[in-house]
Amino acid sequence: MHARSTFNFNRPFIAILITCLLSAVVLMGTLSCLSCDAPDQEGALVVYVYDSFASEWGPGPIVEEAFEKATGLELELVAVGDGAQALARAIDEKARPKADVLLGVDNHLLPKAVSADIFMPYRPENAALVPSDLVLDDQWRVTPFDWGSFAIIWDSERLAEPPRTLEDLTKPEYERSLILMDPRTSTPGYGFLAWTKAVYGDDMPDYWQRLKPSILTLSPGWDTGYGLFTKGEAPLVISYTTSPAYHAEYETAGRYQALIFPEGHPVQIEGAGILRGTSRPQAAKAFIDFMLSPEFQSAIPLSNWMYPIVADTVLPASFEHAPKPTTNLLVDPAVLEGAERSALDALN
């Protein structure tokens, strides 16, 4: 039997207690609002990007100059490896973020970012410019800025007869002929993984086991892998249907060709989001808005070699050499859970 308390809560005491509690709640709400509306801290807006974006031939230098001119804000683009590596770093730094924006999260990696809760929602002012079928997230934690389709690129001067299907890649004549990227660190590597999962389903590990003799290497990122390809290390590489457009623009059209397979090709949609804990939320929002501007979008085709997210952006003539897949595959990221480990185990 519990002892009865000898302290009585009289009405005046309760009234005072309630008043104090309500005052504390109001004060906390006020401080929270002041924090949300506080001006940005001094310094540059830091954006994590993948290596090729920040390179001298990528969109980075163009975007940096145009953004600073348009907004008067200082921008610092920090290259942190391929897209998957950039995401992993942002997740590792979640408690104390060192960047304000993460650029390069795609439709296949988005669930990992959402699960880690690293992004704050922000719908850009010109969000209506994004086609509805290319919207990555209904909460706008990530805003898309370009898209493309993965494909196997063939060096026609080093290989007489190319593969015609994913299954053909496993044939003995293509031994050590294919350069892939590691799906743990690279978005094209993860895109190829998604491709094989979409086509082979539960039999995907068996496919990777049969593919093993054809793989020359798993590079950590696209820029390294594609560099090996253009140096002649292997005649086949995973890249994008738009890669031949690059060679047509700066070299001779025809040597490097994107192979269109009847199984269809996975679509990649790239985006950027504002990291929770940013000290420059207003500048970060300005950057997300700027991604959908003509200045940013017009830089994408000839520097990132992808399709701009804004449909009426003019494409260069070299994009006539980028073939269109007959079937586009939008792979449900949920089915990719554990797929990296299964594929890599099959290669061991």
Three-state DSSP at 199 gives helix
Fold observed for domain 45-147+268-320: D-Maltodextrin-Binding Protein; domain 2 (3.40.190)
Q: What top-level class would CATH report for the domain 149-266+322-347?
A: alpha beta
Could you read off the pLDDT of 139-195 as tens digits, one per residue? 999 999 999 999 999 999 999 999 999 999 999 999 999 999 999 999 999 999 999
Could you read off the pLDDT of 278-321 as tens digits, one per residue? 999 999 999 999 999 999 999 999 999 999 999 999 999 999 99
Locus of tokens 């990007």:
49
In angstroms, rounded to a whole number, what is the distance separating the alpha carbons of residues 83 and 267? 15
- Sequence spans of domains, the chain: 45-147+268-320, 149-266+322-347
The residue among 134, 136, 139, 110 whose CA lies nearest residue 123 is 139
Tell me the β-bridge partners of 75.
Answer: 45
- Which ranges of 38-74 does DSSP label H, i.e. alpha helix? 51-54, 60-71
3 pLDDT higher than 80: no
Q: How far is CA 16 from the centre of its chain?
A: 54
Same fold, 45-147+268-320 and 149-266+322-347: yes
pTM: 0.84
Three-state DSSP at 50 gives coil
Instruction: Indicate the average pLDDT of the chain.
Output: 89
